[in-house]
Amino acid sequence: MKVSAINSYNYKTHSLKQTSEPSFEGKLQLKETANKVFTKKNLFEASLLLVLLSKLTDIADIDVSEIVDFVKNTAIISFFAVTESPKQLEENIEFKKAETIEEARAFAQEKLGIKKFKINDLEYANWVNEGLTNISNRFKGNVYFPRKIAYYPFKQLPGLACYWPMIDSILINKNRIEERVSRLEDLLQENSYEDLTKYNLGKGYDDFCKKLTKAYTEPESLSLFEKYSLVGSIYHVKERIKQLDNKNPNEINTNDINIYGNVYENEFETIYHEVGHCFDFKSDMAFVKFLDLFRGKSELKNLQIPNYPKTNRLEFVASIFSGIMQGEKYQDDVMNLYKELIKFKMPI
């Protein structure tokens, strides 16, 4: 991508006007350079806000409606994202569950390159680290990871997690995750094993059946994040069953490709999805990501995938990234669009 004819940019005044101060002229051909120009131009006005938001992510209880409204405005946040080169970590990182928070934090910082690791619950810390390790090993250490991982600071926002490009952070909504886990018992009472397993809906079906059996017979044997992924899978399965009840089961899968997209969540689906956003933002110009919020919905609406990835092209990229990380395969029209949109190289 090329940004053309940015003339007489003054590095002292951050202005594009002609002045007697030192300037540079010509075309900016590197997307990394262009991104830095856009960021510098707005840095003075945004610096206090950046610091404020970064600090707020360390605070447990916040109820500030103005900030909530700002966070919802993803378009503004995306404009400040900065393109950068991927990190090069070890090609194959051996993961072992930490026994202390200090050990988990050291692993995140030293092995995964996370500068600030603000997760203070050991089960959550191991979950994050294992998910990131899976991604790093899949990409042989050539990854775009966030600067910071912390808890979600806003209780009233519904997301399970999010990637904030403005502060280069993945935020985990612990309250929302545990609220989702608490629904498992009701879901099991409302749905029978036979109803939830009557169709093989693609990659992860066997694992789903095993978890479901445990949930009905020995629920105490399931970990927090096995329960978490099981609840998400049940919701997806129920949605698909409505579509499939009057179809021939042979129409569901074609050459091991589930034509209805990824259905069964594994424990790390949320981590994969948010890192997918991180890859997407860091590997391309911020302004392009800004535009992706508003353009190209017509490309998505006819794809046979779940509704959420059709929200916009940003969610499409993150969702397909997550599905691929979970071993899912997609039809050619989905993969062709995905490859057209991403600016990073997926492993074979």
Identify the band that residue 285 occupies on the pLDDT scale cut at 50, 70 and 90. confident
Write down the H helix ranges in 171-282: 174-181, 184-190, 193-196, 205-217, 224-244, 269-282
Query: Where on the phi/psi map is residue 11: left (φ > 0), alpha (ψ -120 to 50), or beta?
Result: alpha
How far, in Å, CA of 103 to CA of 91, rounded?
A: 21
Most confident of 29-43, 94-108, 151-165: 94-108
Would you state the pLDDT for residue 246?
A: 65
How far, in Å, CA of 40 to CA of 16, rounded?
A: 12
Is 296 strand, coil or helix?
A: coil
Q: For residue range 230-257, what is the model confidence (pLDDT) as tens digits?
A: 999 999 899 888 877 666 655 565 566 7
Mean pLDDT of 35-50: 42
Would you state the pLDDT for residue 41?
A: 38
Q: What is the pTM of this model?
A: 0.76
Would you state the pLDDT for residue 252?
A: 60
Mean pLDDT computed over every residue of the chain: 78
